[in-house]
Each structure stands twice: as C-alpha cells, then as structure tokens.
Amino acid sequence: MHPAFSIIFFTSAAGAGYGLLALLGLLAPFGLLPSSPLFGLAALALALGLVVAGLLSSLAHLGRPERAWRALSQWRSSWLSREGVAAVATFLPAGVFAIAWIVLTAGSGGGGSGVAGVAGWITAAMAAVTVYCTAMIYASLKPIRQWANPWVPRTYLALSLMTGALLLNALLGVAGQAAGWSSLLALASVGLAWVAKEGHWRHCATARPVSTAETATGLGHIGRVRLLDAPHSEDNYLLKEMGFRVGRRHAVRLRLITRLAAFALPAALSFGALVAGPGALSGTLALLAVAAAALGVIAERWLFFAEAKHTVTLFYGAGEV
C-alpha cells in the first residue's frame, strides 16, 4: 500500500496523544501525578493537542473533507465510523476530567478523587477504545494479509501505551518531579511494544499466503496461472496505491532503524533517566527518548503501509500475497 504521510502522522500523533491521555486518566485518581494545576494543564494540552493534530491530518487525507461528518452515521458496519464516534465521544469525559482535575482537585494532594477519578477512568477507557478502532480499520481488511491478523490491534495499543508513557516520563522530568516508577513504566511499555512489533513482523514473514493467482482467478484446477500480458501500459491508480513496492534492502534497513530508534534507544535512555534520578539530566534523557521514539514510530508506520500487499496485485503479475 502507498504510505500517505497524513495517515502516518495521524496514527503516530493521535496514538501518542491517546496513550498519554489514558495514563493521565488512570494515574491521576491515585495521586501519582503532581497536583500542580500547571502540570495538569500542560499534560492535558499536550495529549489533546496531539490527538487534535492527528485527527486534522486524517481529514486532509480525505478527498472531500467537508463530508467527513457523514462517516459517523455508519458505526454499525464501519470501523472507520466507529473510530470517529469514539474519538468525538472521548472529548466529553476528557473535558470533565480536565476541569475536575485541574480546577477542582489540583493542589489538594489527592490528584483526583470523586468526579475527577471517575471521569479519568472513563477517559482512559475511551482512549483505548479509539486506538483499538483505528487498528481495526486495517485489521478488518481481509484482502491484505499483513493487516488482517490479531497482531495489528496489539501493536497499535502497545505503541500508543509506549509513546504515552515516554511522554509522561519526559513531562515529569522537565517538571523536576521525575519518579522512578515513571521510568520503569516507560521501560516496561517499550519492552511490550517491541515484543508486539516483532510478533507482527514474524507473523507476516511466516504466515501462509491467503491468495494466489490461481485462487484469485478461480483457474487453479487447470494448473499454474501466469500473466500473459500486463492489463495497462503504465501504472494506474490501483498499482500506485495498492501495488506500492518497497525494495527488500530498504525494508531491512528501515526495520533496523525502527528497532534502534523506536525501541532500543528509548529503552536505554529511559534506563539512564531512572539511574540519574530527579534532575536536569533525567529530564534531558527522557526528552531524547521521546525524540528517538517519534522517529522510530514514523519508520514503523511507514513500513506498516509499504509492506502491505493487496490481493488486487495478483491480477497484475504478483504470484501470491
């Protein structure tokens, strides 16, 4: 599939925003976050800012963005519509959580009891639901073997948690309130996301092709099917969008970049922040972990689209997908 930058940015930025938003909603009620209104405002502004930026980027990918609202009506059958409904619905508990946490309970030391606690937990649940719906947009597409498998939602959720945890650790470090548990959380989330991504890659490499030229044409009973002549003299829309090719050499290199930037470096930097303890060094290392992860996740997401093969390419000479 052709990797569109607007969708790459959407899934990366919104995933990080929802991950951070979910962690804020889960942790604030337990008083694990600073009670300063300034910290709450900055953290929620960053989370919601990433979500909004990602959603706006996804609208830019549409041919008729002004009609995007119509997609919300198809929630019974469309994961894209369910994602839109969930994304919009998340803002309601998030708004209540923001007001209750920052205005009503910040400074009390409790971090968020009563209304703030309930709203925070609902916000976390809705954020997870939205990320899951985003993943299912791709996992529900049976013509693309690399997407139609359980590893896709697992990877999306794990990467969202990882980027959210890294952002939270950086926020605490910059605020001068770095905590050992936040660095440990970042480390654990990086490990979980790494395992999920390696599992997805392994599945794509080892799973048997679901379609071949023989099954696509229904001529398998005759024998091997091969392309006699190309249907077009030059690439058409289907080949440009669904038959995008990435050289194996580039794919191997980009996977290495993903492993280093998205997982290895953030893990090492988060461990460094844990060892350094509260202070400027810890905050700097946490920020570097976020920067490395951002680069790595973009590379991962580019590969997610570029390595996907649609069954329509079987009619243009592909042997199997």
pLDDT at 29: 85
Q: Kindly report the backbone phi and psi dihedral angles of residue 152, in degrees, each rounded to the nearest multiple of 5, phi listed first.
A: -65, -55
What number of residues does the chain have?
A: 321
| Per-residue pLDDT at 1 | 64
Cα–Cα distance measured from residue 314 to residue 311, given in angstroms and rounded to the nearest whole number: 6
pLDDT band for 113, please (50, 70, 90 cuts).
low
The label of the residue with tokens 């007001």 reads: 99
- φ and ψ at residue 181, rounded to 5 degrees: -65, -30
Higher pLDDT, 29 or 163: 163
Long-range CB pairs of 139-147, under 8 A, 24+ apart, other chains included: 140/79, 142/210, 143/211, 143/310, 143/311, 143/312, 144/1, 144/308, 144/309, 144/310, 144/311, 144/321, 145/204, 145/207, 145/209, 145/210, 145/211, 145/309, 145/321, 146/204, 146/307, 146/308, 146/309, 147/308
In the chain, what percentage of residues exceed pLDDT 70?
Answer: 83
Q: Is the pLDDT of residue 266 over 60?
A: yes
pLDDT tens across 71-105, in order? 778 888 889 999 999 999 999 999 999 998 888 76
Percent residues over pLDDT 90 in the chain:
55
Judge whether residue 296 has pLDDT over 60.
yes
Residue, of 46 and 37, whose pLDDT is higher: 46
Nearest to 17 by CA among 149, 229, 147, 166: 166
Q: Which residues, 6 or more positions from 38, have their beta carbon under 8 angstroms from its beta carbon?
A: none
State the Cα–Cα distance between residues 104 and 99, nearest whole angstrom.
7
Please state the pTM of the whole predicted model.
0.89
In tens, the pLDDT along 235-248 reads 665 666 666 666 55
303 falls in which pLDDT band (50, 70, 90)?
very high
Provide mean pLDDT across the span 199-215.
Answer: 83
pLDDT value, residue 97: 94
Average pLDDT over residues 163-187: 92
